[in-house]
Amino acid sequence: MGRLMARHDIFLWLCNRLQITDVFKQHPEIEEQEIRAPMFILGLPRSGTSILFELLARDPVVGVPLMWEALMPCPPPEAATYHSDPRIERAHGLFTQWHRVVPEFATMHEMAGDIPAECGLIMANTFISDHIASLHQTPSYSAWCAGADYRPVYDYHRKILQILQWKNPRGRWLLKAPEHQVHLETLLQVYPDASVVQTHRDPIKCMASTTSLLGALYLMRSDQPFNSEQFEDIVMGEATAQRLERVMQLRDEAGVGAATITDSRYQDLMDSPLDCIEGIYHHFGLPLTAEARQRMEDYLAHKPKGKFGEHAYHIDSDRAARERPLFRRYQERYDVPSEV
């Protein structure tokens, strides 16, 4: 099963690249499509990026890439057939297969063909993406990605957005991926008018949840036991702290000021989601209409926490105590409470 899934992924990304090249060759006017003032959600994995993304996507004035079109962007989606495109059913079958291979994954992350997609799915077409690293336990690839030039990745990301909106115009794009936090400087070079929402949660809790999530993902594609300690040593701990410190440095020294970026604490989002969202809209001077608010409230009512089961995972208390000092400055700066 793992070999079949890996082969299918690679084959699909290669097909997409050929089709994307052909679409631009046949229709060079697509390059004139403007991507105006997109909003990006970024933060640590498991820090509330997904639920915030899903709620903000309920605003009818924004456009989000859905799973099916992020997976198979060509031929360009058309407004007339957007909700009946046969790729929706195909993508749904592929993504829900993940739950059939590893049932406990359903408690960790919702998968379907017609829900908002993370940018990692789009960026995988470049073969330089944390999305690929999250599917395979390959430390050498993860290390290679860490040193890769991501400017071509974001340029390609923009080209795919141009394709998606060409025959199905969108409002302001709303986009999300935890990995944007690692490449914020490059993101803002490609999208200089972007607005950014950074989510915040106890990094120790985020890391433990992420380790559990990736263990399930790796199990889908390999019978090699998941070496969680090696994963945490390479990717978590000091590496996570360095990523958070880098964003703080950019915000202090590189002109990534309040006009560009605002914050969303996980606890605030859980305690009072609409108040949290109102704060984001107010910060960027955006109107939160009564219709958008009602759609968000309806979404929350039909998706209570734990709807698909409780995500259970272990937190090593000794390791947490050793690593807590790494995140002291981050937690103090954003008033992030410790959860363990």
Predicted pLDDT of residue 309: 44
Could you give the number of structural domains in the chain?
1
Q: What is the mean pLDDT of residues 90-116?
A: 77
Predicted pLDDT of residue 299: 95
Q: What is the pLDDT of residues 155-167, one digit of tens each?
A: 999 999 999 999 9
Predicted pLDDT of residue 212: 77
Q: 60 in a domain, yes or no?
A: yes
Bridge-based pairing of strands 261-265 and 195-200 is parallel
Task: Please state, in angstroms and rounded to a whole number, the distance separating the CA atoms of residues 250 and 243.
Answer: 11
Which residue from 318, 317, 177, 184 is spatially nearest to 245, judged by alpha carbons? Answer: 184
**pLDDT at position 311 over 80:** no
Per the prediction, the chain carries an average pLDDT of 89
Q: What is the mean pLDDT of residues 113-132?
A: 94
Return the CATH number at 35. 3.40.50.300
Predicted pLDDT of residue 273: 96
Q: What is the mean pLDDT of residues 172-195?
A: 95
**pLDDT at position 85 over 70:** yes
Predicted pLDDT of residue 33: 98
**pLDDT at position 102 over 80:** no
Predicted pLDDT of residue 208: 81
Match 């789009």 to its residue by tokens. Answer: 122
Q: 186 in a domain, yes or no?
A: yes
Predicted pLDDT of residue 315: 67
Four-CA torsion 163, 14, 224, 147, nearest 10 degrees: -70
pTM confidence score = 0.91
pLDDT above 90 coverage of the chain, percent = 66
Q: What is the pLDDT of residues 206-239, one digit of tens each?
A: 888 887 777 788 888 888 877 766 666 555 668 8
Q: 122 in a domain, yes or no?
A: yes
Q: What is the pLDDT of residues 324-333, one digit of tens each?
A: 999 999 999 9
Q: What is the pLDDT of residues 122-131, one digit of tens each?
A: 999 999 998 8
Q: 16 in a domain, yes or no?
A: yes
Q: What is the mean pLDDT of residues 103-108?
A: 62
Element (H or E) spanning 40, and its range? strand 39-42
Q: 230 in a domain, yes or no?
A: yes
pLDDT classification of 104: cutoffs 50, 70, 90:
low
pLDDT classification of 310: cutoffs 50, 70, 90:
low
**pLDDT at position 154 over 90:** yes
Predicted pLDDT of residue 207: 85
Q: What is the mean pLDDT of residues 37-48?
A: 94
Element (H or E) spanning 192, and its range? none
Q: What is the mean pLDDT of residues 191-212?
A: 91
302's tokens: 């039909």
**Domain encompassing residue 160:** 2-334
Question: Of 214 and 146, which is predicted with more confidence?
Answer: 146
Predicted pLDDT of residue 218: 83
Predicted pLDDT of residue 313: 54
Q: 140 in a domain, yes or no?
A: yes
Between the CA of residue 15 and those of 6, 19, 56, 72, what are the distances in Å?
14, 6, 32, 9
Q: 339 in a domain, yes or no?
A: no
pLDDT classification of 308: cutoffs 50, 70, 90:
very low
Q: What is the mean pLDDT of residues 134-151?
A: 89
| 92 CB burial (10 A radius; 0-12, 13-18, 19+) | middle
Which residue from 132, 139, 118 is spatially nearest to 51, judged by alpha carbons? Answer: 118
